[in-house]
Amino acid sequence: MFIPDSDHLTSSATSSPHGRTRRAAAAICRLCGRLRYELAPAAATVGMTCLGWLHHLAGVNTASYIGYGLGIAATSALTAGGLKFKSAPAASIGMVGTGSLINTTIGAATGPSVPSLIASGVVTLAAYATYLPWLIKTRHDRINLQIKAAKTGPLPDGMGVNVGMPGVMGDTEEETALRRALVALGTPAVDVSRLRFSDTGWHAVVTLPPGKNTSAEAIKARRQQLEANLGLPGKLHLAEGAQANELLVFMQTFDPLAETVPWPGPSIPSIEQPLPIGVYPDGTETFLDLVAGHVLIAGGTDMGKSTVINCIIGNLVACADAEILGIDMKPGALELGPWRRNMLALADGADAARQVLTMFKAEMHRRGKYLASLRGPNGEPVRKWTSEHGPYWVLVIDELAELLRQAPDVAAELVTINQVARAMGMRVISATQSPSEQAFGGKGTDARQQYSTRIGLPMFEPEPINMVFGRGAYGQGWRLDWLYLPGKYMVMSRRYTTPREGRGYYVSDADIVAVSTEHARYDETLVQEARPHPEPDPEPPRPPGGGGPRGGRPTLRAVPTFPDGSRIPDNRLPLWQALEKAGPEGLTKPEAVRHGICNHHTSIAPYLAQWAAQGWVEEDGKRDRAIVYVLTAAQHSPAPEAPATDEENPACPASL
């Protein structure tokens, strides 16, 4: 449910005693204006009493008393005539006049005194006894007439009516405009309650009538028409209320976040502390809990994704218990490149991204074995990584959708990392401007569920908004299309469960250079050149947390790849290596079974058929009535893979 902000960034002018007095007086005036019909009898009685006291102070003579008497006699006669001839208006006017004149006469005769106050109270009660039933009946008749008109004469879509009708009135200018705008839509309000004003605008709760197309969801779909009907300055926001027939209306007339908010610099010494990324309109900061899980950042082009990423990295580089790895799919790593001296590894293309992911996955397995060897004080197993075990690893992926377009073979590894790595103190921060099913793993593997924190920046279509925040989020108030400035966001996490608009800190290029230089750990080279590993089948990578300020960047070993550069999956690697080893002699399916490559020849048939279609394998006759497959692919260059560090991290020993 959308909850409008009623506060703003506090300033000294608005917090002064004079400012508070002015706001209190304005609130009292608005309340009196809202209740003007209900307060009318009391105001009239008090006014007549005060006039009587004023007359007493000026002096009352015999002629004045005669005048009062004649007035009372005339109004009494009018009352009697109205009752006799059954004229309700005449009788009502006569009774009101008689009571007012009696009250004024007593006030003029006695001045400010107890008898005058008693007379004023009696007249006030009598006035309300006559006035309130008429007021209630009039209002109910007006509302029933509007509801009946909406039911019996529905308006065609997009066609308004004259909204200037004098019969539809509210207690304030805003309520009147809102009621008339809803009538123009063909959905007159049953009630407009809780109308509140703040320094950012005003908001109200509208109770909608029964009927067709009168639900809050239907009104939200016609927001633009309602905003046009209102004719008031500001930006209109709508959301569903607590009840199905309640509509929350918020008109924002002032935006305290219209100006950019400068980044104050790194503010946390540990990744286990909440990380600030921006502010809300009331001045409170927005925090990310990276220890809680992975982070997804999504938004349109030039809408502030890089600013949020830079703010996160700028805080992490100052954390001694965090190591940062990066994948930037822009050639040259234009977005993450300025932080390369603070990153354990940085990839700027598909091949280098495979290296970083393999390195990340190897570290995940290494840490899992390390945690399995640990025990608590009472012998209980340790299942959660903390900074005592070693630094957290944070993988930042800029342009996730582009990575999966250029290297679709890494989708499965990303899904595995998202599902498993969190327990090993490894986090993924993914940013994309094209949220889609393919970007989150394809059909059947929706990786969005693994992102416990989701940051949405301005987007202008319902589909990508629902793709980021979940099905139905657009209708529940997660309206990223309302965020009209770059850097504005909505955050969904365990900490923030309702839609709320904020704005991220702006990290300038000068800030990046200063912070990166101050907290530099490495040189400016990207991932190092690959070298063949000395062992044909090396042991799993050794200590968790390899590299870092003391260990330096890891050395990478080769990953077998297909001729087109894509990585050879582990389940196909033995068959490919057997074909390479067989050379011109080739390999048959029965021979593959005898060599233990597969349990049955049908399990490798799809691979051989696919490679033959690619032109990498050819059928070269038969041997023992079985087709011989010969590898004919051109020599390919392997890509570097996982780190093979020689130093032992004292926080996580290599011997398990």
Supply the DSSP string of 144-171, one letter for each residue: HHHHHHHHHSPPPTT----TT-TT---S
Residue 483 CB contacts under 8 Å (≥ 6 apart), including other chains: 457, 458, 489, 490, 501
Round to whole Å and give the CA distance between 75 and 570.
103
- What is the CATH code for 573-631? 1.10.10
pLDDT at site 517: 93
The DSSP code sequence of 501-517 is: -EEEEE--HHHHHHHHH
Q: What mean pLDDT comes out for the span 306-322?
A: 95
Q: Give the model's pLDDT for residue 649.
A: 46
Mean pLDDT of 618-623: 86
CATH number for the domain running over 167-252: 3.30.980
Grade residue 23 by pLDDT with cuts at 50, 70 and 90. Answer: confident
Residues 107-126: tens digit of each pLDDT: 889 999 999 999 899 888 88
By percentage, how much of the chain surpasses pLDDT 70?
82
pLDDT tier for residue 566 given thresholds of 50, 70 and 90: confident
> What is the Cα–Cα distance from 582 to 597, expressed in whole angstroms?
13
Q: Give the whole-angstrom CA distance, residue 182 versus residue 188.
A: 5
Q: Is residue 627 pLDDT above 70, yes or no?
A: yes
**188-202, 370-384, 551-565 — most confident range:** 370-384
pLDDT exceeds 70 at position 628:
yes
Tally DSSP H helices, then E strands, for the chain: 17, 19
Which residue, chain included where needed, has tokens 């009101």? 96
Which residues, in sequence order, are CB contacts of 69 under 8 Å at separation 6+? none
CA distances from 40 to 33, 98, 133, 213, 251 (A): 11, 17, 14, 37, 29
CATH of 261-518, one of 3.40.190.10, 3.40.50.300, 3.40.50.360, 3.40.50.1950: 3.40.50.300
Adjacent-strand bridge partners of 278: 286, 504
Give the list of residues 6+ apart from residue 139 with CB closer than 8 angstroms, or none.
none
- Least confident piece of the model among 29-33, 72-76, 349-353, 610-614: 29-33
- Taking Cα atoms as reference points, which of 638, 620, 637 lies closest to residue 629? 620
Mean pLDDT to the nearest integer, 90-96: 86
Over residues 582-605, the pLDDT tens digits come to: 888 888 888 888 887 876 666 687
Return the half-sphere exposure (C-beta side, CA atoms, 13 A cut-off) of residue 18. Answer: 2
Output the pLDDT for position 365: 92
Average pLDDT of span 302-311: 92
pLDDT tier at 637 (50, 70, 90 boundaries)? very low
Q: What is the pLDDT of residue 594?
A: 81
Q: How confident is the model at residue 474 (pLDDT cuts 50, 70, 90)?
A: confident
> Among residues 312, 652, 284, which one has the least CA distance to residue 512?
312
Please check the confidence at residue 542 and state whether its pLDDT lies above 60: no
Q: Could you give phi then psi for residue 296, rounded to 5 degrees? A: -115, 130
Does residue 551 or residue 284 have the better pLDDT?
284
Q: Is the pLDDT of residue 647 over 70?
A: no
User: pLDDT at residue 205 above 50?
Assistant: yes
Contact 190, 209 (CB under 8 A): yes
> Mean of the pLDDT values across residues 233-254?
84
- Inform me whether the pLDDT recorded for 650 exceeds 50: no
Contact status, residue 182 vs residue 146, Cβ threshold 8 Å = no
Helix (H, G, I), strand (E, B) or coil at 395: strand
Please, which pLDDT band fits residue 28 given cuts at 50, 70 and 90? confident
Q: In whole angstroms, what is the distance from residue 93 CA to residue 87 CA?
A: 10
For the residues 379-399, what does the mean pLDDT come to? 91
The Cα 31–Cα 268 span in angstroms is 46
Quick one: average pLDDT of 177-205? 84
Q: Which helix (H) or strand (E) holds 415?
A: helix 411-420
Among the ranges given (259-273, 424-438, 625-639), the one the predictor scored with the smallest mean pLDDT:
625-639
Q: Does position 13 have pLDDT exceeding 90, yes or no? A: no
Q: Mention every residue, 6+ apart, whose C-beta is less than 8 A from residue 238.
A: 2, 216, 219, 220, 223, 226, 247, 248, 249, 250
In this prediction, residues 359-388 reach a mean pLDDT of: 89
The torsion defined by the Cα of 465, 467, 472 and 477, in degrees rounded to 10, comes to -30
CB atoms within 10 A of CB 556: 24
pLDDT tens for 324-350 read 999 998 888 889 999 999 999 999 889
Q: Is the pLDDT of residue 354 over 50?
A: yes
How large is the average pLDDT for residues 368-389?
Answer: 88
Asked if residues 263 and 505 have their Cβ atoms less than 8 Å apart, the reply is yes
Higher pLDDT pick, 648 / 553: 553
| 6-21: average pLDDT | 54
Instruction: Decide which of 251 and 645 is more confident.
Output: 251
Measured CA to CA in angstroms, residue 340 lies from 64, 263, 310, 492, 524 at distances of 95, 20, 12, 29, 6
Site of tokens 């304030």: 172
Average pLDDT in the chain: 80
Q: Which pLDDT belongs to residue 378?
A: 83
Write down the pLDDT at residue 544: 46
Find the range with the poorest average confidence among 154-158, 259-263, 336-340, 383-387: 154-158
* Residue 486 confidence class, pLDDT cut points 50, 70, 90: very high
Lowest mean pLDDT among 9-18, 139-148, 553-562, 567-576: 9-18
The pLDDT value recorded for residue 316 is 96
**Would you call 370 helix, strand, or coil by DSSP?**
helix
Distance (Å, rounded) from C-alpha 459 to C-alpha 462?
A: 8
Indicate whether 88 pLDDT > 80: yes
d(CA 204, CA 209): 16
Highest mean pLDDT among 462-476, 506-520, 544-558, 629-643: 506-520
CB 584 within 8 Å of CB 590: no
Which residue did the predictor score with more confidence, 534 or 17? 17
Tokens of 632: 């004919």
What does the pLDDT read at residue 600?
Answer: 62
- Tokens representing 291 are 């220890």
Q: Show me where the domains of the chain are located.
A: 35-150, 167-252, 261-518, 573-631
Handedness of CA 425, 412, 560, 593 (dihedral sign): positive
